[in-house]
Chain A
Amino acid sequence: EADIYQTPRYLVIGTGKKITLECSQTMGHDKMYWYQQDPGMELHLIHYSYGVNSTEKGDLSSESTVSRIRTEHFPLTLESARPSHTSQYLCASSARTGSRSGANVLTFGAGSRLTVL
């Protein structure tokens, strides 16, 4: 039923490893986002994209990078994972323009829970 997919759902990895969190959506949305959320805390925007070849940094500084080569795909990469990167990473998408109700309504993926040992 989900229109936005994230893999892996859970990842436990050692310090220094490179990781890529995958996010794909089938809704044809132009805008995509990555949020970071620690347990019991608020969501923080770390990256977003208005469309293909567009990437911007969000409000929270992050050592991760993103790419947007295809509309439906917005992967997030950490070149060298550290324990401080342990968190939940949520991908979301929204329609860029159009109806007022659609432009800012986010659809979230189920999240990728990362633990760095």
Chain B
Amino acid sequence: RKEVEQDPGPFNVPEGATVAFNCTYSNSASQSFFWYRQDCRKEPKLLMSVYSSGNEDGRFTAQLNRASQYISLLIRDSKLSDSATYLCVVPLGGSQGNLIFGKGTKLSVKP
């Protein structure tokens, strides 16, 4: 299994839709997880951190399943401005290790 795997998409959804992305990771010792958002030709920016079972911030919910070693990102009521690539990020070798970035899942929200 690759260290971090994501469905590359693209996910093409209409405005207002609910969309979910999954990410699997191989290092069972990882304690913290992150979702970053990267707009086209821009730098990644932190969207959410996940340390326990999950985290919610407005329309965004991240959930962690340690037994199955995957994290998910749920976006409710999609907006056009949500169109971006969503990167799953996992520390290598514990909480202080360098971060491994997934290839990202591309989301396109259409009017």
- Total residues of chain B contacting the partner, CB 8 A: 21
Q: How far is the CB of A85 from chain B (nearest CB, A)?
A: 19
- Total residues of chain A contacting the partner, CB 8 A: 22
Closest to A56 in B: B98
Query: A100 interface residue, CB < 8 Å from B?
Result: yes
Contacts of B101 in A (CB 8 A): 35, 42-43
Selected from A45, A101, A107, the residue in CB contact (under 8 A) with B98 is: A45
Query: B103 interface residue, CB < 8 Å from A?
Result: yes
Contacts of B36 in A (CB 8 A): 106
Are A103 and B96 touching (Cβ within 8 A)? yes
Q: How far is the CB of A39 from chain B (nearest CB, A)?
A: 8
Which B residues between 22 and 49 are near A, CB-CB below 8 angstroms? 32, 34, 36, 42-46, 49
- Chain A residues with CB under 8 Å of chain B are 33, 35, 41-43, 45, 48, 58-59, 90, 97, 100-101, 103-111
- Chain B residues with CB under 8 Å of chain A are 32, 34, 36, 42-46, 49, 51, 87, 91, 95-96, 98-104
Given contacts A104-B99, A106-B36, 7 further A-B contacts (CB under 8 A): A42-B103, A43-B87, A100-B32, A101-B49, A105-B46, A106-B99, A110-B42
